[in-house]
């Protein structure tokens, strides 16, 4: 099956800093989603981005499908950005989401 790797596994930043999270995948995909799992466990949809670039406020994401990676950018971090960020993909022939191992982001006031 497809392999999904996220880096870094852990990231600790001061409030106001910027960060880049990376997701590498081993095969062509037809779906890529970024999620934020908050401290209460809820998975929040951030982006549906199988290719291209999208922006939503302080967050933006870019997927380069031909090179099999996606990046999530968080600018001017706030404490509420803390949590685990998951990348998940699906591909032709197996449309179920495969999750990466996640990046745990901690924003310090």
* Footprint of another protein (CB under 8 A): 30-31, 33, 35, 40-45, 48, 86, 88, 90, 92, 95-97, 99-102
Closest CB 56 distance from another protein, rounded Å: 14
31 contacts 46 by C-beta, under 8 angstroms: no
Closest CB 48 distance from another protein, rounded Å: 4
Closest of 50, 56, 108 to residue 81, by C-alpha: 108
Quick one: tokens of 103? 């990046």
**Closest to another protein by CB, 17 or 65:** 65
**Closest to another protein by CB, 59 or 97:** 97
**Closest to another protein by CB, 9 or 16:** 9
Closest CB 95 distance from another protein, rounded Å: 4
Catalogue the E-assigned strands of 31-102: 31-37, 43-48, 52-56, 59-64, 69-74, 83-91, 94-99
């Amino acid at each position: 099956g497809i392999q999904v790797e996220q880096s870094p596994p852990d990231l600790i930043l001061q409030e106001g800093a910027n960060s880049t999270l990376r997701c590498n995948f081993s095969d062509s995909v037809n779906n890529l989603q970024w999620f934020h799992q908050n401290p209460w466990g809820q998975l929040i949809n951030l982006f549906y981005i199988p290719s291209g670039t999208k922006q939503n406020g302080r967050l933006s994401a870019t997927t380069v499908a031909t090179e099999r990676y996606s990046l999530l950018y968080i600018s001017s971090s706030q404490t509420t950005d803390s949590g685990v960020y998951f990348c998940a993909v699906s591909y032709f022939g197996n449309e179920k989401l495969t999750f990466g191992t996640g990046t745990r982001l901690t924003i310090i006031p």
